[in-house]
Structure 1
Amino acid sequence: MIKWFAAILGYIYFRFPGAILGFIIGSLLDNYIRSAGGLFENMGGTQKSRVSPGDFELNLLSLASLVIKADGQVSQTELDYVRAYFVRAYGKERANATFRTFNEVIKNREISAQRICAYLHSRTRYEVRLQILHFLFSIAQADGNISQAELNQLSQIAGYLRLNSHDFESIKAMFLKSADNAYKILEIDKSASDAEVKKAYRKMAKKYHPDKLGHMDEAYRKGAEEKFRKVQDAYEQIQKERRM
């Protein structure tokens, strides 16, 4: 820590009074650096590399197009969902500008999920990438059915975004129903004890709390709220089944 280095340096030159002064100045510098680091983290990246709003929107739209085309059919319902989402998140004028730029870009460039995800991985926080995956699942489900081809594409994107398999299965369970759906959302097995269920709920509630995306656009915050509700619903379902 800077404060200890400054205290030692102060002692060397000015003895005890210098050590005290150095410690105080070093503490102020430590606090400033931590505050600055938190600011850059809240912006979704780091001081060295941040994704600009325009680049983020274009890359998000590119991933959305990969999911829409995954099963070889371009669903108008899915297209409408994406457009409505972008309008809610960024406003009609900005959304239209993003779509125009996207259409111009893809004419001369093949979309690479691996390249886009590597770019986003280096510039966004983990919880933002979780929300990206949730958004892409929402697109696939917009027409009422998530095909195997779409699921394969989503799995590949999750891997490229460096999301762990437990988080992928948790978000997948929010969209694809199964007998142990609630347990998958909480990332536990049906054999888990009541204490383990409670612990898992607290962990997932913290991970998906909407405050994690407080710096993002409204549409993203609503997506976070939806994930949070599904975690709560899963926990309540298990409570009823077990009469906890």
Structure 2
Amino acid sequence: MEYLLLVIAVGVIFFMFKTLKEYLANPKSYGPLKNQEAEPIFDDPYADYSQKTDIEHSECGLILALIAKVVQSDGKVCEFEERLIAELINDMVISYDNQAFTQESLSDYFYSQKVSIGNVEEFALEFVDKTKGQYKKRLKVIEFLFVVAYADGVLAEEERETIIDIAAYFELSNEDFNRIYDRFEEFMQNKTSQAESQNSLESALQTFGLTEESEENITSELIKKRYRELVKKYHPDIIQGQGGSQRDTLKANEQLTKINDAYEILKDKYNKNANRDSQGEN
């Protein structure tokens, strides 16, 4: 059920993540444009301007630190969270022309913050200082923190409390915060209910186009092959790359969610069948 909740959350997560990526793609969000030198962080000419210092006092470094604190709060990181964070870091590297900002350095910084006892208030207040007059940017960061927290299908109480603290330091209005929170809660409740009522073996076979196949012809290899074909056909990034509209992308994303749901059902059933058959032969 936890994995099922994860895949049904892809729809809202995809669009929230896309909007944050658009914000990252704007160089003005991060500081120096290409071929421009960044201003020193401190006035002290003898200060050690290390790679880590460059990162930790930048907007993207502060965002990574805040994400790390949310992830750290419930003590676990699911596979989907890791994928989201990896893609976010990749976009940061592309968007910010700074030699200190590499995939490795940003990943190392994120994971160092995930295991440290760093102060959430310190990171949040520094981010506020760097985004004065940019209230919508802080809203977008809070939205993405909810995306990460909900990635495993469940918002842990520790994650919720950490995000509430960050929103308070960000000086978000109660109305704006509650609007974001209620939207995620409503989405997860609706999708959970749909998943429980709609996902069955029959609908999964129909999604994979296997309703005409006899039971003995359906193997785990066939399911994996059909899954790869369907993902390639309906992946939102591919649809977008082909010039599809936002509506086309949304439809493709809904179909991809259905495909992921069906794959989990079929994989579970036919892997068990294969295991029973192999045991019988022995």
Shorter-chain TM-score category? 0.3 to 0.5
Greater relative contact order (CA < 8 Å, ≥ 6 in sequence)? 2
TM-score norm. by structure 2 comes to 0.41
TM value normalised by structure 1:
0.47
